[in-house]
Each structure stands twice: as C-alpha cells, then as structure tokens.
Amino acid sequence: MKKSNWQEKLNEKLYLISALISIALILSITLFIFIKGVPAIKEIGIKNFVLGTKWKAGDGQYGILPMIVGSIYVTIGACLVGVPIGLFTAIYLSEMANKKTADFLRKVVELLAGIPSVVFGFFGLVSIVPLIDKFFGGGGNSLFASSIILGIMILPTIISISEASIRAVPKEYREGSLALGSTHIDSTFKVILPSAKSGILASIVLALGRAIGETMAVILVSGNTPLIPHSIFDRVRTLTSNIAIEMGYAYGLHQGALFATGVILFVFIMIINGVFLVFNRKAGELNDR
Amino acid sequence: MKIASFKRVVLILSLVLMVSVVVAGCTNNSKEAEGTDSKLEGIISIVGSTSVTPLAEELGQEFSNKNPEIKVDVQGVGSTAGIKAIIDETADVGISSRDLKDEEKESKIKEHIIAYDGIVVVVHPENSVEDLDMDTINKIFTGEIKNWKEVGGEDEEILIVSREEGSGTRGAFEEILELDSVREDALIAEGNGAVKANIASKKNSIGYISLSYLDDSIIGLKIDGIEGTVENIKSGKYKVSRPFLMLTNGEEGPLVKEFLDFVLSEEGQKIVGEKQITVK
C-alpha cells in the first residue's frame, strides 16, 4: 500500500508539472509581448498609435488604425463567406445525409483542416487573385480575396463544432416537432437550430479567432498596403501581417511598435476568447439540461 | 517486487544515458581537436539579404565542394536582419544589399564588398512600354504618373508593386532614384520572388527586383535607353546598381577567413560574374 501511494504521488506531481509548464509558457509569452510592446506604445502615444492612420516606419510614423480596421474587415468578410457554407454543411451532415455520405464528407472536412495555411495562400495567389483581377480589376490582391481564402480556412472549425452541437440536441425535440405536423425543414430551422444556438455561436467565435490570427495565407493575397480600405477590392494589411512582414527588418522603436501591434492583437484575441467562454458555458448548460 | 525492478530499470537507464553522454562528448572533442590540426571543419552561418541569398548559396555550395568538412548555411531574411545578426553576433557572416546606416555602424564591423548588383524595373511581358527615363520612373513610383498611356502604353491604371519597409532592395532603389517614398497604396510583396509572381500575373503592374531574379516571366525595362545587364552595370552605363556586402564582427575565425578569401578569389568571383558584377 505504501509503495503504490508513493507512486501515485509521483504521478500526480508529473502531471502537475506538465500543467504548470504550459501555464508558465503562456505567462512568459504574455509578459514578453507586453514588456517589449508597452514602452513603444508609451513613446508613440496610445492615441497616435491606435488611432493614427499612417504607418511609415522610415519616417517614424506608427499608426495602426488601418491594420486594426483591416483585421476587422477581413474577419467579418471571412465570416460572411464561411458561416453560411459551414452552417449549411453542418446541418446537412447531421440532419440530412445518410451515414456513408456523412462519414465521407467528414473526412474531407478533416482533410481541409490539415492543409497548411501557406498552401491556402498560394492557392489564392495563383487562382483567386488573378480571377478577381480579371473580373474586377485593381490587381486582385484585396480584402475580397483575403475574405474568400479565410472563409474557406474557417470552414472546418464551424462545421465540426456546429455539427456536434446540432447532434447534441435531444431527439425528442425533433420528434415532438414532427409529431405536431411541421415539415423536416421547419423543425430543423425552428426547433433544432435555436436549441443548438449557443454551440453554433461558439463555433463562429472560435472561427473569428482563427481568422483574425491567420498570417501567412493573408500576406500572400491581401496586398499588404497599410491604408484603410474603402472598397472590398482595395488592398489591406492586417495586424498579423504587419508584424510578420516587417519583423525581420525592424530594430529600435520600429521593433517595439511591432510588438505593440502584438499587444493590440492580444487584446483582440482575449476579447474573442472571453466571448467564446460565455457561449461555451451557455452551450454546456444547455447540454446538461 | 515490482517497484524494486522498476527502480533497477531506471537506474540502469540513467547509467546508460550518462555513459553515452560522456562518450559522445569525448568523441566530439577529439574530432574537433583533430580538425583544427589538419583540416578546417564546421558550419558557417550566413544571414541576411534575400537579394544576396542566391549568390551566397552558390558560393557556399562551391566552397563546400572544395572543403567537404565545411558546411555553409545561408538564411535569407533581409538586409536589416542580417546586419542585426552581425551586431548581435548570432551569425558568422551577414549579407546586405544596402550600405549600413549610421546607427548600425559599429567600430568592430568589417564590410567586404563581394559584388555589385543591378536593380531592374520590371513589367508584365505583354506591356508595350520598353524604355523609361529615371525621372519618369520616379514620377511613376511617387504616384505623379498614374496611367500607362501617359508614358506611351495602353489606357490602364498603373499598379505599383513594392517591397516591405526595411528591405535592402527598396532602400537602395529609393536612394538611387531619389524617391522620398514609394506611393502609399502600392501593393507590398514580401521578397523578390513574391514581387516577380505578382508582376507576372498582373498586366498593368510595375515593380523592381534584383537583377539575379530576372527571368522570362517578366520583362526588365531599359532605363534611359540602357538595358540592365551585367556588362552595362560593369561599364557604369546602367545607373541603378548597388554593392553586395558581406559583414563580419571583429577578427574573423579561420573558417570565415577562408570563406571570404574564396569569395574574393578568382574562382569565387567567376561565380559572382555569372549574374552579378565582379568586384575586380
């Protein structure tokens, strides 16, 4: 008995240490970004930094409003493209498709999730960008192109989480609805989807996080112009690409400003994660009922 | 019993590990000692400009062929990063495609000019414009001229493809053309390769790349009637050129010294001469 007790304790400590390592990592990353970024924000001035519309590192102008707006637009665009497709796919998979088709489609979606982002970006650069250039002009590297690529990239997140939450809706709901005489489509949209609402919203919020954090694919198709876009065919630069493009070259205040960009991005991600937690908790309550 | 045998296994395993570490350490040491005695061996890490990278790779390859014990590792991350790496001593050799700025100049850093390179202004192959003067190029890149028909091309808006802030090619291009800054709404592509890919796929675009990246997918413009070729840059007729630098910090080690000697030797400069302009 004594010996197994000792072993158990050792085991427990091992898991504790592993857990602490990840916590320590996230804390040190956060600390690092803030230590590097906050002095730069102070030097530039928070107002000039967040609301400044000119980013010209050479002239010492560090305004990241165009990038903030760019990131938000690109993320919204990705949702406009990805959410309807993803949600309908999830409904099809959980409600309509027979088992064989559903299994096959699920595998394909998993495959989509496994494709590296640079491949998505390259695909966009050689296929979508020239198409946009041909039909709408302006070069093709644009907010529109980024939205399409990101919309495709967030599909797996939306599909898998939404499908799971639709499946979690108790069978009795549908049976009751059908028994009352409503059609299949009616019970799907008026009974099942409202019941799975929290899970679906959680999937969208998670997808938002993925879209706002994506870097490589966006760099290749967005055109990276640090100006506020006025049409969906304008070039944009996102917060993440601003960091990635210039970090290799930056030093001094310029480098600090890039870390400060990271701080702003961090705040965005925290907000999104907070919202996700709220929805997730609601979804959990629903499933417990 | 089980615990006892478990303990024994752990003990044996850790012993084996210790012994292997010690042995590995010893063999490594002895090898290094032999190396310094007879032949040089090791890794030279080169970091910096994406424009110099193809040349540095070729030179490194040839150097490794001659000295099989020496590996040359080249990373293209940009001139500023290369200069920074040399100041921080995180690389053996820094490569830069622009001159050092005043705040980057440290007393211990040595600059070795290994080649000269041309910057070519490039357009899509279907563009009918072939020749521009420096002044016009300046006006195009600052945004004063916005349509190709103003310079004898088709009635189409000019799309400028530029490099990211801090790029050596951009720095040198702006300096030579006396541009204050490239038009703000220019498309920014990361690296020479990305500029090329963008220009090759957009009919109304114009950009600039290092001469060594020029190929059939895009067309290099003549500047003031002079084509950007190795001969014309060497003779000084083609004006848009800049030095390629290799940087070292303090006294070079024997490996790096050997490598730099090779680069500046007749053999090394022959490789340089294939696409760039030799120093001598």
Task: Dump pLDDT digits (tens) for B202-236.
Answer: 889 999 998 888 888 999 999 988 988 888 888 88
Question: Does the CB of A126 have a partner CB in chain B at under 8 Å?
Answer: yes
Dump the DSSP string for chain A: -HHHHHHHHHHHHHHHHHHHHHHHHHHHHHHHHHHHHHHHHHHH-HHHHHH---EEGGGTEE--HHHHHHHHHHHHHHHHHHHHHHHHHHHIIIIIS-HHHHHHHHHHHHHHHHS-HHHHHHHIIIIIHHHHHHHH-TTS-SHHHHHHHHHHHTHHHHHHHHHHHHHTS-HHHHHHHHHTT--HHHHIIIIIHHHTHHHHHHHHHHHHHHHHH--HHHHHHHB---S--SSTTS-B--HHHHHHHHHTT--THHHHHHHHHHHHHHHHHHHHHHHHHHHHHHHHHHHH-
* Euclidean distance between the first and the last CA atom of chain A, given in angstroms as a whole number: 41
Task: Select the residue of B80, B103, B185 nearest A249 (Cβ to Cβ).
Answer: B80
A3 confidence band (pLDDT: 50, 70, 90): low
Contact between A249 and B78 using a beta-carbon 8 Å cutoff: yes
Task: Select the residue of A139, A224, A235 nearest B205 (Cβ to Cβ).
Answer: A139
Give the integer Cα–Cα distance in Å for A79 and A77: 5
The CA distances from residue A75 to A7, A69, A112, A204, B258, in Å, are 50, 10, 19, 11, 52
For residue B32, how far is the Cα from the chain centroid?
A: 31
Identify the residue whose tokens are 């699920």: A106
A285 confidence band (pLDDT: 50, 70, 90): low
The answer to whether ipTM exceeds 0.85 is no
pLDDT tens-digit series, residues A142-156: 999 999 999 999 999
B-chain residues within 8 Å CB-CB of A138?
159
pLDDT tens-digit series, residues A165-182: 999 999 899 899 999 998
Contact between B77 and A130 using a beta-carbon 8 Å cutoff: no
pTM: 0.75
Contact between A224 and B3 using a beta-carbon 8 Å cutoff: no
pLDDT tens-digit series, residues B166-177: 788 888 898 888
Phi, psi of A11 (to 5 degrees): -55, -50
Nearest residue in chain B measured CA to CA from A126: B201
Largest CA distance in chain B: 92
Q: Contact B211/B275 with Cβ under 8 angstroms?
A: yes
B32 confidence band (pLDDT: 50, 70, 90): very low
Which residue type occupies A274?
Answer: G
Give the integer Cα–Cα distance in Å for A80 and A84: 7
What DSSP character marks residue B216? T
Q: Is B215 helix (H, G, I), strand (E, B) or coil?
A: coil
pLDDT score for B101? 79
B28 confidence band (pLDDT: 50, 70, 90): very low
Residue A78 pLDDT exceeds 70 = yes
Averaged pLDDT score across all residues of chain B? 83
Average pLDDT over residues A263-284: 85
H helix intervals, chain B:
2-37, 53-66, 79-87, 134-142, 168-176, 192-201, 230-234, 254-264, 266-275
Residue B37 pLDDT exceeds 60 = no
Chain A interface, mutation test: which of B188, B205, B217, most A Cβ atoms within 10 Å?
B188
A-chain residues within 8 Å CB-CB of B77?
248
pLDDT tens-digit series, residues A39-71: 999 999 999 999 999 998 877 889 999 999 999
Mark A191-215 as b/e (b = at least 16 C-beta within 10 Å): bbbebbebbbbbbbbbbbbbbbbbb
CA angle B50, A33, A220 (to 5 degrees): 40
pLDDT tens-digit series, residues A11-47: 889 999 999 999 999 999 999 999 999 999 999 999 9
Average pLDDT over residues B137-148: 92
The CA distances from residue A93 to A47, A152, A240, B9, B152, in Å, are 48, 17, 33, 51, 58
Average pLDDT over residues A255-279: 90
Q: Contact A226/B181 with Cβ under 8 angstroms?
A: no
Residue B248, min C-alpha distance to chain A (Å): 18
Contact between A224 and B77 using a beta-carbon 8 Å cutoff: no
What DSSP character marks residue B211? G
Give the integer Cα–Cα distance in Å for B253 and A234: 51
A-chain residues within 8 Å CB-CB of B159?
138-139
A-chain residues within 8 Å CB-CB of B194?
220
B29 confidence band (pLDDT: 50, 70, 90): very low
Residue A269 pLDDT exceeds 60 = yes
pLDDT tens-digit series, residues B167-211: 888 888 988 888 887 888 899 998 888 899 889 988 899 999 988
H/E segment holding residue B113 = strand B109-123
Residue B200 CB: number of other CB atoms within 10 A?
Answer: 16
Contact between A246 and B181 using a beta-carbon 8 Å cutoff: no
B-chain residues within 8 Å CB-CB of A123?
none
What DSSP character marks residue B103? G
Phi, psi of A125 (to 5 degrees): -65, -40
pLDDT score for B275? 74
pLDDT score for A146? 95
pLDDT score for B35? 40
Residue A207, min C-alpha distance to chain B (Å): 27
Residue B239 pLDDT exceeds 60 = yes
Provide the residue count of chain A: 289
Residue A248 pLDDT exceeds 80 = no
A90 confidence band (pLDDT: 50, 70, 90): very high
A287 confidence band (pLDDT: 50, 70, 90): low
Question: Tokens at residue B273, please?
Answer: 């001469």
Question: Tokens at residue B105, please?
Answer: 């100049």
Residues of chain B with pLDDT > 70, as a percent, come to 86
Q: Contact B223/B133 with Cβ under 8 angstroms?
A: yes
Average pLDDT over residues B54-59: 91
Nearest residue in chain B measured CA to CA from A130: B201
What DSSP character marks residue B97? S
Phi, psi of B162 (to 5 degrees): -120, 175
pLDDT score for B62? 92
In words, the CATH class of domain A50-288 is mainly alpha
Q: What is the CA radius of gyration of chain A?
A: 23
pLDDT score for B21? 53
pLDDT tens-digit series, residues B92-131: 999 998 888 777 887 788 899 998 888 999 999 999 888 9
Average pLDDT over residues B48-61: 89
Q: Contact A234/B184 with Cβ under 8 angstroms?
A: no
Contact between A225 and B184 using a beta-carbon 8 Å cutoff: yes
Question: Does the CB of B165 have a partner CB in chain A at under 8 Å?
Answer: yes
Q: Is B206 helix (H, G, I), strand (E, B) or coil?
A: strand
> What residues 19-38 of chain A have any CB closer than 8 A to a CB of chain B?
none
Average pLDDT over residues A253-271: 92
pLDDT score for A289? 52
Average pLDDT over residues A281-286: 67
